[in-house]
Each structure stands twice: as structure tokens, then as C-alpha cells.
Structure 1
């Protein structure tokens, strides 16, 4: 951990020695470390987010290096990068690699230089929340609050209910159609507005983080235009204390696999994925738009998180006919980019003691002798 002040100016060294600049978390986000403010990150600390920025830059650069190596046959890691691309992005062509490169470059540029979000349409600084206490679920029978946080009144001075407002009802209809489930208005004093989302638990205080194994989420105005600001919220489950590059993966020989089944004790990419990966993942939603970074045609209209689902080894969540992830879906799935960046970071920057390069064959940490 490093104090936030060390990163305010700032210059960072990527692990392979490239000099890069970085902004502070308060340059990039509206974030509070005041324990009395809903959705504050006081318990997590400013130093944690300074590390997230540093690691986010490293992951974005690893992603860029992956594309460069995969598309350059003279690169010393060309074979490893090509195998990685074939597995995770399903044998991408040159146009696909160009698109992948742009995704990583956009994240890197934003972390270093800031700029608009939501596919370039939103110049407002986004919010970064910890937990979900910044929003409270309401009903259609509750009073409608204005941006000043006070109840809205009609021409007769009577309080307007949420269910009486056409804009709110239209937003409810659109979101219900998009999610294929009932949605409810969540009031946020921090955002001075409402978000429509499913009920995440029986209590009005239950938000997204009340779900089992919820890591984080992002909304942008292009998907819900009732609020001007975009935002990311990180759940307690995401704070694992794993630092990029520190955990060692239990490496096995590729030749020890039998019919693509890993030998007992093989480490996998989830063992070494840093806690900052959730933050990195949400940046793709933030910068490209939450609605535009959901892979198309998934059975439950949701993004794909599971490593072996991303790799196409297991059916997608909600699949009725055994549907598995295809290339065009992987190219629109933020977690694909996140795990590939982690994998190539380990391949490029953390060689083994004998000089060989570790890889992630079918998600497991391996070395291969055919290079």
C-alpha cells in the first residue's frame, strides 16, 4: 500500500521498465472517504485505489503487448500470445485484433489522461462508490424527489408520487424490457436522482452487493438517462487483497494434461487475478457504455464472468441447448479482456526460474516446450 499523495503528480514504472504517467483516484472519480457519506470508501482507504490505478495501467499495457505480440510473428512471445488469443477470443482475425487493441488503448489513455466516458458522450466526472448504501429502493407509491432532494409538488401543491410521473414510468418500462424482469426505483441522494433496477433482496436497503458473490457494477446515462453522471460501485466481495504479480501460480507441464484435463494441483488464472481486476473490468463498461458492453445473444442477456464459460468449455448461464460462448460475444465481454490482460502480464513479466514463460492453457497455469 502507498499513501495517495505519492501518486498525485504522478509517474509510475511499469514492471518491464516503461515510464508512464497516472492520475489520482480523485482526478478520475467523485469519491468520498468520509465515513458519514453514503457509498464512501473510507474503510478501503485511498492507498488501495492508488494501487488500482497503477495496476490498471499495467493490465492495459499488458493487453496492448498481447495484441502486438499476437500480430507480429517476429515477437519473442508471438507463439504464446497467439495461443492466448485463439483460446480466449476464438482465433481472432486482423480486424478483431485491431478492435481488441483499441479497447485496451482507450482504458490506458483514460487512466493516464482522463476524458469523457460512456462512449465519449459524457464529460461529467463519474462516481466511484464502495458498497451500495448510496441508493435506497422505493416504490411507485413513494413521493417523487427532485434533484434538490425534496418532494416534487404539482400545481396544486400536492406531492407527486413516483407512479404519477410519465418520465419515471417510461424509464421503468424500458429497463424492464431490457432486463426481462420487474424493476424498481432506487433513490440516490449522492446522484440526486433515480436508478431503475431489480430487487436484490427483501429489504429496501438491499442493493446489488446483497447478491451472492457480487463484485461490482456500472451504469452509464446511455442505458439509464435519468441521471447525468456515470458510476461504478465496488462490493466487499471484490476486496480480496490480492496484488497484481504477487501470488505465484502453481505451474504444471502442458504435457501432463490428459484429454485437456489438468493434473491435480494445477493452478488457474483465478488464483492470481488481483482484486484490482474488478475495477479494471468496470472501466470497459464506464468508457464504452454499460449497455454496449454486454455480449449479444447470451441466453440471460448478461455478460459472462466464468473462466470456463469464457473459454467455451462450459455452456453459458441460462443456456437451454448447450450454447457456448462464440468469438463475437467474447469480443464484447469485459471479463474476457480482463483475464487475457492478467494472463499475458504473467507471461511477459514473470518468467519462471528456468527462463521459460508461463501460460494459461485452458485457464490453467502451464509451461509449454514447443516454442
Structure 2
């Protein structure tokens, strides 16, 4: 079976954007220079890399570098690279890119974009440019000094580190070993531009991730056995939340329906309701599915995802999630551009929050915000354990958005609206993964109500719903609303899956890294009139001091909130303990505030509105912040809010 828990994707998101990965000590050679050197006899040993992997690395680094307006910088300081140290920049498949600092007399800073050009000759390189780049060494690999584009304004701008130069780094393409040193996260206080990169493999992973197709999806409703069966709600002014148990009554708040439980049921074969194991030939695999919901009113949703495939690299939403497309219900096609803008806002804002935390000791505004949202004493130091724990949560989200390392996108699904669900009756035949009727070993028809694990799910007003047009996501959703889940007040929902195999001697829980997360974004998340369209509008809409930060969260906050749930799951608060309104959020205790997702969402928004930059060349840029605002707690006990107090020049 499969136990579906909230996905703590810190494992899946892995080491991600990290401190430079230092390789074995190296030596400075007098004749080592920045000229192209291909590893062929007598100059070196051929590395046997795959050209496609080399190109993948270049494309990834180019895209990664372009995710900030000024362009990301790769720094190697002399004090950190004594003895001509080498840092792994990125690894994929058979190849890895390594940066070596060959001039111990200088501190060097170059654009990731220029490292990419050094590898492949440029985004639209001519054959001659490719031949002069590292990719021109073919499968042999080689080394070459960074091809610096000195005319790039990043090298003369304010973000370029003082005292650094562009010379002194050579890039190498070498064979990726069978195992790389553990990835490290960037150090507290280390600037975003000084990070090295990372290997995109999960620890111990070889090749692309794959799971044997599951049989059919059911859910054991003994929900009290697990801490991860939770629902939560979010409203702009009034919040309500409930832990999902069968007999639970909703709290008497407006627009709070009964909990919603959705349990998929599927099989890859229409002849039999399950696939036989060779070691236990009479035993099927049964998944158990649970989830959390993020809505304006309480709901509960679980989705089963059955297939894995390799991920491709890019910077858009479709390369992070398996996005439902097409003309059918639940498609995100109409929102594709907006979702990509949301992703950009999430990347920029989490980046700003990380950099802000790194200035904790110097910035009174950051210290005050950390106290307001996480109850961190203002006398704390920036390297304290609690500050670094908070920082790590945000960094894991940032890393996930930046695909570092690259995750299998079939572990992450995204749908827009719940209208892809159609209502079935409990007396209908149970369908398998392919939408075919299921039969038992006697060839007798199996009804939905015949499945023991479903009986408790239909004891009240719940009804089975089936996804009409998503064969990879087939399963029954038990709820009173089901296909009407995305009502006018709902924002979205996140679900996660974990496998359990039922065997004669009991159930075996699959490893924690075998999990899948799914998000449904509701139409109201795109049209909510109370939320600014983007950070640019949020900044411009703060026309008077005192405006609540709760009214300044852009629509992209829904994606950010759901991402936290997808990554951390039950690690964060859920159920009645979780809070969403700004007045409730700032009144939480230290322990609860540091585990409440909306505290992170508000903190990130505050830091971006405080430190975000205006885009003078494109004032309509959604991530542009034309006016910087600080916020603080205002009001008296019981009527507190978090309001804008002044414009930062």
C-alpha cells in the first residue's frame, strides 16, 4: 500500500544552492593558464563525458545566472582557495564542471552566464565558437579560462564585489565520479553571488528515478494513527482550520464546510485489480493517501500520482511541475504566463529574504521583523541556531524553485481548478488505473462500496469523484463537494503521497524520499480582488503609512504557501494550530510561529518590499519594487496588526 504523508522535500530538494563544493586539494602549476586544453594524450587522459551532459550543464548555469536581474556571480576568494583550490560548479550525468582558482594573488568574480559561455560558446554559438569552447573538446573534456564578457554592466555595477577581478579562474569539464562529496549549503552571511553550485543527483541515486507502476489506490481511514492527516484554511481577515478526523465537527465560523477526503484508486491492469509480486505472488500493493489543504475555507484533498520520469531543465513552471495542460477541465494553459511570473516572484522574494537574514546583525529592520514573525530576541546573533533554522526553511524553498538539484518533475504536479473531477456513485463499478472496471480473482465485479478502505469514507455526505481526463492521476476523491472543491473562496490545495507495501507479515513503509506532491490552484487564486497582482502593484498600493502587510501579499503568495506545504508537510503546523490572518500570526508563541507557514510568507513579503529593487528599464516588471516599505507591529493588545510605517529612500 502507499501511505501518503506531507512531503518533506528537504531530502528531494537536496543540497541545492550551496557553499562551494571543495574538491581534493590541488596544486598550482607554473605552466597552467587560461588557454583551451583538451584532455588528450599527451596533455591528459580523455574523460569520456557525454556531450549532451556537457550542454545540459552549460544551459543550466546560463538559466540559473539569469534568474536575477543583474546576473548571478560566482566568486572565488584567494583566502578560500589556497593552493589553487578547485570547486565543483555543477554535475550532471557523466560530466561535472569544476572551477579552479589559478591566481592566488587575486579575488575573482565572474558571471555564471560567462561560465556557461566558456563551456558551450554561447546560447546561439556558431560552430567556430563551439570549437573554441570546452564543448569543442568533445567527449575528452578539458580546461579553459572563463570567457568574460567585459561589457556586461554587472562587472561595473554596484553588485560587483569590491576589490574583485574577472581573471584567475579556469573551468574544467571532467568525468563525474561514481560518488561526489556531500553537498553543502551556503554559509551564514555569504552573499548569494558567491555560491558554488551542486550535483543534481540525489544521494545514492543512479540514473533517472523510477517506480514500478502501482496497482490501485485506496486509503485506510484510521486517520488517528498518523500526525500527518491535517487540513487548514486561510482567509484574508478571518481564519478557520481543522484537523481531519471522521467524526470532527467544523468550528462555527463562516464558510466552513465539513472536511473533504479524497482517495484515489487505480490499477495498471484491467484484467486484475492488482499486480502480483514475484516474492509474494498473492499480494497487491495498496497505497494509502493523505494530504493537507490550503484554502480560504476548510477542505481536504489527496491525489495519487503513479509515474516517474526524468526532468528537463529550464526556468519555467512546467519544468518544476508536471502541469495539467490541454483544453480539458483543470488545465493550466490559460494561466501559464501568470504562473511563470509567480515563480519569478517567489524566486526573487525568497532570495531577498535569505540575503536579509544574512544582514541580521547589521539591520534593525531585519531584527525587528524576525522578532515579530518568529519571536527571535533582537539581542540574538545572526549565526544563532534558531535564526539558521528559519533561514534553512526559506533556503530549501528557494533551492526547490531554482531546481537545485534538478528534481524529477513527475514528483510534483500542478493543476488549475478541481473541475476535472466527475461524480460517481458508491454502487458503481470500481475502476482501475486505465478507467476499466475491476474484477476480483473470481472475475466478479468490484463495486466502490466493496472496498473496505472506502467504507468509512462514504459514511456521511462524502461521494466518490473521478478525474475525467488525467489518466496518470486516476483515483477516487471522496468529498461532498469534490469537483466543486474550487469554490469562489478557495485558493488551492497540496497533496503528497508515500508508498506502503502490504505483505503477509505486515505493512512496510517506503523510504522517505519516495514521495510525490501535487498542487491544485483554484481560479480564485488568480482573480482574488483583495490580493495585488504582483509585488510591483503591492508596492505602489501602499499609499498611506499603516497599510497592513496582510493586504500587500501578492497573488503569488498562494504558490509560495503551497510550496512550503509540499516541501515540509507535517513538519509545519496544521489543523487548528495553524494561523493565517496577520493579527493571529504575530501573536503566536516562538515555537508555533517558527512552524507556521504564513509567518514565513509574511516575512518573505516584508523583506522583499523592504529590500527589493526597482527596474528602471522596465517599470512594468512584476518583480520590480518601485518603493521600499518597512513595517512594524501597530495597535494595542487584541487589535494588533503589522502596518507600513515609512518609505525607505
Deviations 1:119-173 (A, max 9, x none): xxx9843111111113345454332221112121122333212222234458x49
1:39-79 CA-partner distances (Å, limit 9, x unpaired):
101222x2212212211111211221232223xx2x2xx21
Q: Is the 8 A contact 2:325 2:331 kept in 1?
A: yes
Larger deviation, residues 269-278 vs 182-191: 182-191
Instruction: Please list, as runs of the form range in 1=range in 2, the aligned pairs for 1:195-210 lying within 5 A after superposition.
Output: 198-200=479-481, 205-207=483-485, 209-210=486-487
* 1:98 aligned residue (385, 388, 391): 388
Q: TM-score, normalised by structure 2?
A: 0.42
Q: Does 1:152 align with 2:438?
A: yes
Work out whether 1:12 is the aligned partner of 2:284. Answer: no
For 1:194, the equivalent position in structure 2 comes to 475
Q: Structure 1: how far apart are the matches of 2:403 and 2:596?
A: 24
**Does 1:219 find its partner at 2:495?**
yes
CA positional deviation for 1:279: 0.6
- Check 1:245–1:223 CA distance in 2 against 1; reply closer, same or farther (3 A cut): farther
Q: Tell me how far apart the structure 1 counterparts of residues 418 and 430 of structure 2 sit (CA, whole Å).
A: 21
Q: 2 CA distance for matches of 1:224 and 1:55?
A: 37
> 1:243 pairs with 534, 538, 541, which one?
534
The alignment partner of 1:194 has SS state of coil
CA separation of 1:245 and 1:15: change in aligned 2, threshold 3 A: farther
Alpha-carbon distance in structure 1 between the residues aligned to 2:392 and 2:478: 31
Please say if 1:363 is aligned against 2:639: no
Residues of 1 paired with 2:464 and 2:430: CA distance?
10
Match of 1:288 in 2: 568
After TM superposition, the score normalised by the length of structure 1 is 0.71
State the match for 1:345 in structure 2: 608
Are 2:347 and 1:57 equivalent residues in the alignment? yes
How many Å separate the matches in 2 of 1:56 and 1:159? 48
Q: What SS is found at the alignment partner of 1:113?
A: coil
Unaligned runs of 5+ in 2: 1-58, 74-111, 114-313, 502-513, 615-624, 634-640
Which is strand-richer, 1 or 2? 2
Q: 1:232 aligns with which of 503, 519, 537?
A: 519
> After the TM superposition, which residues 48-197 of structure 1 pair with which residues of structure 2 at under 5 Å, given as runs?
48-70=338-360, 73=361, 75=362, 78-91=363-376, 94-113=384-403, 124-169=410-455, 172=457, 185-188=464-467, 190=470, 191-194=472-475
**C-alpha contact 1:251 1:365 (8 A) present in aligned 2:** no
State how far apart, in whole Å, the 2-side matches of 1:280 and 1:345 are: 14
Does the CA contact (< 8 Å) of 2:463 and 2:479 recur in 1?
Answer: yes
Structure 2 Cα separation of the partners of residues 246 and 357 of structure 1: 13
Measure, in 1, the Cα distance between the counterparts of 2:647 and 2:315.
Answer: 38
Q: How many angstroms apart in 2 are the aligned matches of 1:243 and 1:357?
A: 15
Query: CA 1:50–1:90 in 2, change beyond 3 Å: closer, same or farther?
Result: same
Structure 1 residues 65 and 142, CA gap change in structure 2 (3 angstroms)? farther
Q: Secondary structure at the match of 1:62?
A: helix
1:309 aligns with 2:588: no
Q: Distance in 1 between matches of 2:557 and 2:483?
A: 27
CA apart distance, 1:199: 2.5
Q: Partner residue of 2:319?
A: 27
Summarize the Cα distance change of 1:205–1:249 in structure 2 as closer, same or farther, 3 Å threshold.
closer
Structure 1 gap segments, 5+ residues each: 1-6, 254-265, 313-324
Question: Deviation per CA, 1:344-365, whole angstroms, max 9, x where unpaired?
Answer: 11111259x9x98522434211
Q: Using the TM superposition, give the Cα deviation of residue 13 of structure 1 relative to its aligned residue in structure 2, in angstroms.
A: 4.7
Alpha-carbon contact 2:494-2:519 (below 8 Å) kept: yes
Q: How many angstroms does 1:38 deviate by? A: 3.0
Alpha carbons 2:561, 2:601 under 8 Å: kept: yes
Residue 551 (structure 2) aligned to one of 271, 289, 293:
271
Give the aligned length.
309
Q: Does the C-alpha gap of structure 1 residues 215 and 280 become closer, same or farther in structure 2, counting only changes over 3 Å?
A: same
Distance 1:169 1:275, change over 3 A: same
Residues of 1 paired with 2:520 and 2:628: CA distance?
A: 39
Cα distance change on mapping 1:234 and 1:115 into 2, 3 Å? farther
Q: 1 or 2, which has the higher helix percentage?
A: 1
